[in-house]
Structure 1
Amino acid sequence: MTSTPHPEFNCAEFVLAVLDWLESRENAPEAIDTSLELLANSRRRVFLRVMRTYEEPLTLPDAAEEVAVRETGVSVPELSAEHVADVYISLYHDHLPRLVDAGLLEYDQERDLVSPAEISETSFDV
C-alpha cells in the first residue's frame, strides 16, 4: 500500500531529522520501537493531543467526543452517537491501555476519568 505524499510535508526530511535526533542520544532500540509504535496510530496521536490541550482530567466519554470532533472536523451536534461510541470503544479497549502502560496517561476506571501522567523532565534523557 502506498500513501500519497502531502505536498506541505516532506516525509524524507522528517525521517532524517528524527534519525539525527536519535543519534544524538543513547536510546535502547526497544524503547524507540515502542515509542514509534505508539505514535504510528493517528487516533492515539489525536487522543494524546486532546489530553495535552486540556491538561486536566477528562471523562473518557468527553475525551472520545473530542477525538471524534477532531477526526471528522464536524461539531458535536453533527456527530452521530454511533461514531462517538465507536471512538469510545476503541479508546477504552485499545489505545488507552497502551498509553497507560507507556506512562503517558492515567486512568481511574471507577470514575471513567483519564488524566495526563506526570512526566518528569529527566524522562526525556533517554
Structure 2
Amino acid sequence: MSDISMSAEKMSDGVPDYDTILDVCSDRQRRVILAKLLEQDRSLTMRDLMHAIAKHNHHAPLEELASEVMERIQISLHHIHLQKLQAAELIEYDTDRQLVEPAEMIDEIHPTLAAILDADPALDSLRRQ
C-alpha cells in the first residue's frame, strides 16, 4: 500500500489524525508548502510554491538557478508532495489551473500544524520573507 493511500485511510470525520499530520510534515518541502499556505491564507499557484521552495532550499536569487533545478522542483511538487498533501485532505490541487489552496478543514488543525512548523528552525528564513 502506498504512503498516499495510507494517509487517506487514517482520516476520521474528514480531519487527519495526528500521525497523518506528522507523516505529511516529515518532509521539508511539504513543510515549506504548508507554511506558505498558512502564512498567505489564500490560493497559491504552482509557480508561487516552486519559488518558495527554490528560495528556501538554494538561498540564491531565482534568476541564478538553473532551469533544471526549477524543473526538478516542479516535478516533485506535482508527482509527490502535492499529491500527498491532497490525499491527507490538507490542500485542494487543481492540476488544470496549477492552483493550490488550503482545504476547508485546515483551520481545525491549524494549531497542530503551526506548532510543528514553528518548531522547525529551517523555516525561520521562510517566515522572514
Shorter-chain TM-score: which interval? Answer: 0.5 to 0.7
TM-score, with structure 1 as normaliser: 0.65
Matched to 1:52, the amino acid is L
Alpha-carbon distance in structure 2 between the residues aligned to 1:70 and 1:48:
13
Which residue pairs with 2:98 in the alignment?
112
- Summarize deviations over 1:52-90 as a string: whole Å, max 9, x none: 222222221231122111111112212221111101110
Aligned length: 97
Separation in 2, partners of 1:94, 1:63: 14
**Over alpha carbons, which structure has the higher Rg?**
1
How far apart, in 1, do the equivalents of 2:55 and 2:111 lie? Answer: 34
| Higher RCO, 1 vs 2 (CA within 8 Å, ≥6 residues apart) | 2
Structure 1, unaligned stretches of length 5 or more? 1-29
Could you tell me how far apart the structure 2 residues matched to 1:43 and 1:120 are? 18
Give the structure 2 partner of residue 89 of structure 1.
Answer: 75
- CA 1:119–1:45 in structure 2 vs 1: closer, same or farther (change >3 Å)? same
Alpha-carbon offset, residue 33 of structure 1: 2.4
Q: Give the Cα separation in 1 of the matches to 2:87 and 2:60.
A: 31
1:67 aligned to which of 42, 53, 60: 53
TM-score for both structures, normalised by structure 2? 0.64
Change in 2 beyond 3 A, CA 1:75/1:101: same
Task: Report Cα offsets for 1:27-62 as digits up to 9, x if no partner.
Answer: xxx933222111111111111112222222222123
Unaligned segments of structure 2, at least 5 residues:
1-15, 113-129
State whether residues 50 and 67 of structure 1, in contact with CA within 8 Å, keep that contact through their aligned partners in structure 2.
Answer: no
